[in-house]
Amino acid sequence: MIVLEDVSKSYSTGAPAIKNISLKIDEGEFVFIVGNSGSGKSTLIKLLLKELEPTSGKIYVNGRFLNNIKKRKVAEHRRGIGVVFQDFRLLKDRNVYDNIAFAQRVVETPKKVIKKRVPAMLSLVGLSEKYRSFPKELSGGEQQRVALARALVNNPPILLADEPTGNLDPKNSWEIMKLLEEINKRGTTVLVVTHNREIVDAMNKRVITMHKGVILSDEKKGEYIYEG
């Protein structure tokens, strides 16, 4: 599903962002990626999305060798990874239905498919009655649910959530995490980048801890390690 073999990435200054990382994430796993600022988490995400090129090493995602992927295939690759961000990134001038449908219209999904798929996603995230609402009319938790629905509407095998609870209160944070767990149970591989130690420790999932560009630990049922 996701394989990194001795991957390093250095920027123009020569400073390494990640150093000789080897990692395998299997289909259907739920994985937390944690670490302080500057640990390399953001660089790892950008490498998986093909926003950055590795300085050395090999990267495979969804059975595709990313190092030599042609530019015209990058968009296709990214459609295999649903992404949810801390700041939601919803289209403010479109209602909930159209925010979710937009992701399907971009890939020219037939209208009859959109009419079935969008309500199904709204039902999954518990927002069926909010389909006409605009982002400004929703709470932070509801906006994050819309963002999740949009990320999942094209049925990607991988969901990457980058600090999905960063702008939410504790109640909404737990609701989003329960939803991510349900999505994972349905077969989607879920990667969550987070600083939320309480959630990581409570959920008893695989935890990959990064520190200064390397993997400090990788525990199948781990906890958030404090690096100081």
Residue 11 placed within a domain: no
pTM: 0.92
Q: Which residues pair with 201 in a beta bridge?
A: none
What's the total number of domains in the chain? 1
Indicate the pairing of strand 16-25 with strand 2-10: antiparallel
20-45: average pLDDT: 94
Given a cut of 70, is residue 227 above it in pLDDT? no
Q: Which residues contact 73 (CB under 8 A, 6 or more apart)?
A: none
Is residue 33 one of the residues assigned to a domain? yes
Looking at every residue in the chain, the average pLDDT score rounds to 93
40-48, long-range: CB < 8 A, 24+ apart = 40/210, 40/212, 40/213, 40/214, 41/193, 41/210, 43/9, 43/17, 43/18, 43/213, 44/18, 44/210, 45/160, 45/162, 45/193, 47/4, 47/7, 47/9, 47/18, 48/2, 48/81, 48/160
- What is the pLDDT averaged over residues 129-139? 96
Residue 126 maps to a domain: yes
pLDDT for the residue 14: 75
Residue 4 lies in a domain: no
Q: Which CATH number is 38's domain given? A: 3.40.50.300
- Could you tell me the end-to-end alpha-carbon distance of the chain, in angstroms, rounded to an integer? 32
Is it the case that residue 228 has pLDDT exceeding 60?
no
Domain around 158 = 27-55+75-219
Do the domain assignments include residue 228?
no
Over its C-alpha atoms, the chain yields an Rg (Å, rounded) of: 18
Please report the pLDDT score of residue 226 as a whole number.
63
Domain contains 204: yes
Q: What is the mean pLDDT of residues 31-48?
A: 93
Give the sign of the dihedral formed by CA 43, CA 37, CA 79, CA 59: positive
pLDDT band at 218 (very low <50, low <70, confident <90, very high): very high
Banded pLDDT at 60 (limits 50, 70, 90): very high
Is 169 within a domain?
yes
